[in-house]
């Protein structure tokens, strides 16, 4: 039995050594995996902490800590909000181009990408569709459902976003008549976007309804609005030989202030094309462009050396016209390259558009050109090749934005998880039961 016992003892010893070696391998691998996990947290703190680090403050907690003593201010090389440095990472989402049921979804997707602000125009022609008949979400028109701008701005605040508002009478935005109501054309001699008396009187009446709604939503009043635009690309008016009406810009500034608007005011133009035309002394100038960021921003800095750079419209894509052969797109690589160069300059930025949405009804605008067919009507879709598609789906541009913002954002705050994409469905075909040709439509209008 002796040799048998030795053999058994030797086997047991061998198994013990093998188990010990296996234990060491498992321990080593466990430590290595734990080390990799810790390193991964450290290399991407802006994204991982934003979703997992519950000790981070919200955006509003960070910028309102200790009470609100100041709004958005300009220093030579940076913005400050409530006396704290801020780089504005903003994206345009127009409430009137998105069904209200999706407002929160689109806004949360913006915040989930690390952005800290949303920008929107306010279209005069929707809010005063008929002379002296105003609609801010409680009217009876087909578009009334879309027009509760106060609710939209409050929803943005609930989603931890600051707001840049562009309530100027003219918005462009590839929107019908640039957002001005068509009934203005009934006034003989009225000159839009000028200090002409009839036009100014109508703007005053409109502002008397709009501005009180926005006054209480200002950041210094506890709301989310940090800045207001006076006019939109006003310098472009001079391209056809028109003279700049500085008195009109002064009127807008005074009228805003009359209603208690105290947040930062700004204008937006293309510096290379329009230089300082469209601006007003003491009002922040911002830039609109798609390429050549260093040239545009250097010129902007030359015009206002005591203020930081801000790109109010970095065009993420472009819009389409009827009968064009293809959808306008901008590659992710080209888009990302310019965005990084803007932030490196350094400057703040608003993406136009972050989510384009839809030109509902007949509110799509148009462009004119010298060549045939001269009049180019915009399509119903305002997809714009933006980071979020017309239906709110994520694109490669979205993920590029998220990566770039995380790289340049120095203020870490809580960021929500990205919402799931919505389910899609196809509606059943609808049979056409009747039609009117163009002449029949004209006859009906005349008879009315």
The separation between CA 330 and the C-alpha centre of its own chain, rounded to angstroms, equals: 17
- Report the SS3 class of residue 159: coil
The single residue listed with the structure tokens 């390193």 is 39
Closest alpha carbon to 266 in 245, 247, 288: 288
Determine how β-strand 162-166 pairs with β-strand 347-355: unpaired
| Measured distance between the N- and C-terminal CA atoms of the chain, rounded to whole angstroms | 119
Angle at 123 between CA 237 and CA 359, to 5 degrees: 100
Omega before residue 353 within 30° of 0, cis = yes
| Cβ contact 272:292 at 8 Å | yes
**What separation in angstroms does the CA of 43 have from each of 49, 114, 134, 209, 440?**
11, 16, 52, 50, 67
- Report the SS3 class of residue 175: strand
Closest alpha carbon to 293 in 336, 342, 340, 334: 342
Q: Which helix (H) or strand (E) holds 84?
A: strand 84-86
Give me the phi and psi of 378, to 5 degrees please: -75, 150
- Among all residues, which ones are annotated catalytic? 233, 313
The single residue listed with the structure tokens 């609005």 is 225
């Amino acid at each position: 039995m002796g040799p048998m016992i030795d053999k058994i003892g030797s086997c047991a010893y061998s198994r013990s050594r093998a188990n010990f070696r296996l234990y060491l391998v498992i321990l080593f691998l466990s430590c290595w995996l734990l080390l990799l996990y810790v390193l991964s947290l450290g290399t991407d703190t802006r994204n991982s902490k934003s979703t997992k680090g519950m000790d981070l403050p919200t955006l509003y907690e960070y910028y309102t800590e200790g009470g609100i003593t100041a709004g958005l201010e300009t220093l030579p090389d940076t913005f400050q909000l409530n006396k704290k440095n801020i780089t504005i990472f903003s994206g345009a989402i127009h409430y009137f181009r998105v069904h209200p049921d999706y407002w929160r979804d689109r806004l949360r997707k913006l915040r989930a990408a690390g952005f800290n602000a949303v920008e929107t125009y306010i279209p005069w022609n929707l809010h005063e569709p008929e002379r002296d008949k105003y609609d801010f979400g409680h009217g009876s028109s087909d578009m009334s459902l879309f027009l509760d701008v106060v609710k939209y701005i409050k929803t943005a605040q609930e989603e931890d976003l600051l707001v840049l508002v562009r309530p100027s009478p003219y918005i462009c935005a590839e929107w019908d008549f640039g957002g001005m109501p068509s009934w203005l054309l009934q006034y003989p001699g009225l000159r839009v976007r000028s200090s002409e008396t009839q036009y100014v009187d109508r703007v005053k009446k409109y502002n008397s309804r709009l501005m009180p709604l926005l006054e209480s939503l200002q950041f210094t009043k506890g709301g989310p609005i940090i800045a207001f635009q006076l006019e939109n690309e006003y310098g472009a008016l001079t391209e056809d030989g028109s003279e700049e009406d500085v008195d009109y810009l002064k009127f807008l500034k005074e009228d805003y202030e009359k209603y208690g608007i105290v947040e930062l005011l700004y204008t937006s133009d293309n510096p290379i094309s329009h230089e300082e035309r469209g601006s007003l002394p003491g009002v922040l100038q911002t830039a609109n462009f798609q390429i050549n960021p260093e040239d545009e921003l250097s010129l902007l800095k030359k015009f206002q050396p005591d203020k930081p750079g801000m790109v109010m419209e970095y065009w993420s894509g472009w819009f389409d016209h009827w009968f064009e052969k293809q959808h306008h797109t901008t590659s992710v690589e080209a888009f990302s390259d310019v965005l990084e160069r803007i932030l490196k300059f350094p400057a703040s930025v608003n993406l136009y558009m972050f989510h384009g949405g839809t030109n509902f009804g007949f509110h799509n605008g148009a462009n004119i050109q010298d060549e045939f067919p001269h009049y180019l009507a915009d399509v119903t879709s305002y997809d714009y090749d933006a980071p979020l598609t017309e239906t709110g789906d994520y694109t490669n541009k979205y993920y590029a934005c998220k990566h770039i913002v995380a790289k340049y954002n120095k203020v870490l705050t809580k960021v929500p998880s990205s919402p799931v994409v919505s389910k899609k469905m196809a509606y059943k075909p609808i049979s056409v039961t009747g039609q009117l040709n163009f002449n029949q439509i004209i006859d009906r209008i005349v008879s009315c």
